[in-house]
Amino acid sequence: MELNIDAQKQEFLEICRTAIKRDGIEDLLNWLSKADFFTAPASTKYHGAYRGGLCQHAIDVYQYAKKLAFLLPEPPSEESLAVTALFHDLCKVNFYKVEKRTQKINGEWQEVPVFVVEEKYHFGGHGSKSVFLVQQFMKLTAEEAAAINCHMGFSDGNPSAVRDVGNAYEQFKLAWLIHVADEAAAYLLER
């Protein structure tokens, strides 16, 4: 898939600058501009596994979150929606690299570029690493931190994590909303 990276970057920055007014946002955006956020994939082979997929995924999750917010008895603020949706996957910044692999295409072996994980900063969890990275630049509310931390849902299989995520969804409806928006973006738009 070929994306217009510059147009997508401008859309992302416009959403951030319109919706997020808290201290530290410009520092976070400067860091993202120096990192590979706008060109990185969202995954190696699943959703958004192409150049620019990570930024596109963040925008897609934000759009779905806005559409789903009416389901909540007390919808979150536009700022909280933007912060959690746009930054839920910061753990993937500077996380991938491109390698050449040999694959059979149309009956012939060819070298093709593929994305692979090259973790430089092990933190112990996808969501917790994203929370940590956001908080290097700006403060999060407890609800925002829970939403980012629990956006993967029950996927880790640890029985206590299942209980903890369920409890977070009960306490913080934004956490459930970001999880659903993340799944919708990944499975409905980015395959």
At 135, is the secondary structure helix, strand, or coil? Answer: helix
Query: CB-based contacts of 125: which residues, under 8 Å, 6+ apart?
Result: 149, 156
Q: Residue 58 phi/psi, 5° resolution?
A: -60, -45
Task: For residues 168-184, give the mean pLDDT.
Answer: 92
Q: CA–CA separation, 180 vs 165, rounded Å?
A: 13
More confident residue, 55 or 119: 55
Most confident of 1-15, 23-37, 45-59, 114-128: 23-37
Q: Residue 134 phi/psi, 5° resolution?
A: -60, -45
Query: Domain boundaries in the chain?
Result: 5-93+126-189
In the block, which residue shows the tokens 């009416």?
70
Query: CB-based contacts of 126: which residues, under 8 Å, 6+ apart?
Result: 89, 91, 152
Q: CA–CA separation, 53 vs 60, rounded Å?
A: 10
Work out the mean pLDDT of the chain and round it to a whole number. Answer: 87
pLDDT over threshold 70, residue 191: no
b/e map 23-43, b = 16+ CB within 10 Å: eebeebbeebeeebbbbbbbb
